[in-house]
Structure 1
Amino acid sequence: MNKQQMLKGIQDQDERLLFAKVLDQVAFAMKRNELQFTDFMDAAKCGRCLERLKNNTDLDVLSFGGVEEAERLKLGFAPMQGMISYGQFPITALHIAPKSKKFGQTDLSHRDYLGSILGLGIERGKVGDILVSQDGAVCFVNEEMADYIQMNLDKVSKTTVTVIRLDKAEVLAPKRTEIRRQTVASMRLDAVLGEALRLSRGKAQALISSEKVNVNWSVVTNTSYILKTSDMVSARGFGRFRVGEVGGRTKKDRIALELEMYI
């Protein structure tokens, strides 16, 4: 494996540094004949790393973020095919929840949870997806950070919280989805997002403009971005869906559309 040759052509310096670290871990896995894992990275960067490694037939490479369809992923490397599985990834799922829900209390957001965790002095790469729900959030973290977070995270924003570990088998259970059939004015991101998540067009546009919407795990800020079949769309704090079959026009000149909603 020629490291310099593989780094050639990567213009973005941050991504070049990231891939250089990935190659170092690949070399270590091959030399020591043992598994190696990266920190968490966004799925778009992870995909580009996988693409660059695809011709290395001696290497077993797997990506995983702790749960199906994760948006932040780790890469795992093994020196032989078939040596690595999802269960071997050093990822711990923590459930973080308010101790009590007071009347009128503002719901905690993804930013609140992430800010409080990083406020403990933890690097961003040690934290994966944070799935916010009405009863708290499930946060995926590097295994070696779990005890530290449990012992030290007692507040998110100004809210007192409890932190417990979740059983891996429970977390790895497949996500439930439902098929919803809708009609949309167009395949523009703001139009589909609004219909899918039952948001006003203005609210959907605001989420997109504020960098809270991902398409195929990359942030998209263009409200007129055209979606296509199989695109995965997520809006932070609101949910996610996959674009299904795109049908024809209705009598009211709207597009018939299938959406796979994650519930």
Structure 2
Amino acid sequence: MDKDDQLFVNHLRDLADLCYQRGIPVYTDFLNLHEQTVFLAKMPEFSHVRIRLDGGYEEAERKIVCFLPVYEEEADRERLPIVPLKISSSAGKFTVPCTHRDYLGAVLNLGIERGKIGDFLVGDGYAYVLCTKNMADFLMNSLTSVKRNPVICRIVPFSELTGQVSYRELTGSLASLRMDSLLALFMKSSRTAAVSCLDGERVFVNGRLCVSHGAVPREGDIISVRGAGKFVFDGVLSSTKKGRLMVKIRIYG
């Protein structure tokens, strides 16, 4: 564990102790996948409080850690300090298409720290963004354009996020069910390139770092490759007479 990770763990301990001593819910900012991996490795240290990891919707990648008093019932999502905002273009038919990077760049250019912002769900002429509660008013008042589009921001209910995640399906055959083979299929690359991602600590399975070339994915696993995207492993469909496995994945976006 490097110095930055140790400082991060010390911060988590301080938050958990504050929750325990004062009997109040305490929350982190949005954590990236590496931070979540560090936290999950240290979870046994936080047995004196209750823990919830949430990003505002089921498939969220960036999540906050909620430290809750042991006697308190688990908080509903609506009670968490996460606010869903919808960023909508007001340019009508003149709307210029925008990507995830365009929306993220526009928000960060306002001077907001990355940890205050969760995932973006991008649609046609709009995007949903999850943010910490103390950033919602600032975003609604300050974000006026994305790319060349004038935009309006408003708070929406969490239920509006349901069904906003889009996928495209991909099937392919593998010689064996190994992580490096599955990544090569997803990235449409060689196993050597997939191994490089694993060795470079760029692969996360359900938020946990994965470096094992031969790790066996389980059906339903959400696998993220930093810089390449993420996908859901939907399992083995069939096997051929030569022993190859036909698998299906669903790629986000």
TM-score normalised per structure 1: 0.73
Pairing 1:193–2:181 present: no
Give the Cα–Cα distance (whole angstroms) in 2 for the partners of residues 103 and 201 of structure 1: 38
The letter of the residue matching 1:49 is F
**Correspondence for 1:255 among 237, 245, 252:** 245
SS at match of 1:129: strand
**Correspondence for 2:86 among 92, 95, 106:** 95
Q: Deviations over 1:227-253 (max 9, x none)?
A: 723431357999753113235543587
RMSD over aligned CA atoms reads 3.9
The letter of the residue matching 1:259 is I
Give the Cα–Cα distance (whole angstroms) in 2 for the partners of residues 13 and 37 of structure 1: 22
- 1:80, CA displacement in angstroms? 1.3
- Counterpart position of 1:109: 99
Pairing 1:152–2:142 present: yes
2:32/2:63 contact within 8 Å kept: yes
SS at match of 1:87: helix
- Counterpart position of 1:120: 110
The percent identity for this pair of structures is 27
**Correspondence for 2:20 among 30, 33, 41:** 30
Evaluate the alpha carbon distance shift between residue 128 and residue 180 of structure 1 in structure 2; reply closer, same or farther with a 3 A threshold: closer
The letter of the residue matching 1:192 is L
Evaluate the alpha carbon distance shift between residue 55 and residue 13 of structure 1 in structure 2; reply closer, same or farther with a 3 A threshold: closer
Give the Cα–Cα distance (whole angstroms) in 2 for the partners of residues 96 and 214 of structure 1: 30
**Correspondence for 1:49 among 13, 20, 39:** 39
Give the Cα–Cα distance (whole angstroms) in 1 for the partners of residues 121 and 214 of structure 2: 25
1:183/1:254 contact within 8 Å kept: no
2:229/2:252 contact within 8 Å kept: yes
Evaluate the alpha carbon distance shift between residue 24 and residue 174 of structure 1 in structure 2; reply closer, same or farther with a 3 A threshold: farther
Give the Cα–Cα distance (whole angstroms) in 2 for the partners of residues 174 and 163 of structure 1: 20
- Counterpart position of 2:217: 228
- 1:140, CA displacement in angstroms? 0.3
Evaluate the alpha carbon distance shift between residue 234 and residue 143 of structure 1 in structure 2; reply closer, same or farther with a 3 A threshold: same
Evaluate the alpha carbon distance shift between residue 238 and residue 164 of structure 1 in structure 2; reply closer, same or farther with a 3 A threshold: farther
Give the Cα–Cα distance (whole angstroms) in 1 for the partners of residues 121 and 137 of structure 2: 20
Evaluate the alpha carbon distance shift between residue 110 and residue 214 of structure 1 in structure 2; reply closer, same or farther with a 3 A threshold: farther
Give the Cα–Cα distance (whole angstroms) in 2 for the partners of residues 156 and 78 of structure 1: 37
Give the Cα–Cα distance (whole angstroms) in 2 for the partners of residues 219 and 60 of structure 1: 23
- Counterpart position of 1:182: 171
Give the Cα–Cα distance (whole angstroms) in 2 for the partners of residues 245 and 260 of structure 1: 10
**Correspondence for 1:67 among 57, 69, 76:** 57
The letter of the residue matching 2:86 is H
Structure 1: runs of 5 or more not aligned: 1-10, 195-199
- 1:103, CA displacement in angstroms? 6.1
SS at match of 1:139: strand
**Correspondence for 2:127 among 112, 117, 137:** 137
SS at match of 1:54: helix
Structure 2: runs of 5 or more not aligned: none
SS at match of 1:19: helix
Give the Cα–Cα distance (whole angstroms) in 1 for the partners of residues 218 and 28 of structure 2: 31
Evaluate the alpha carbon distance shift between residue 189 and residue 156 of structure 1 in structure 2; reply closer, same or farther with a 3 A threshold: farther
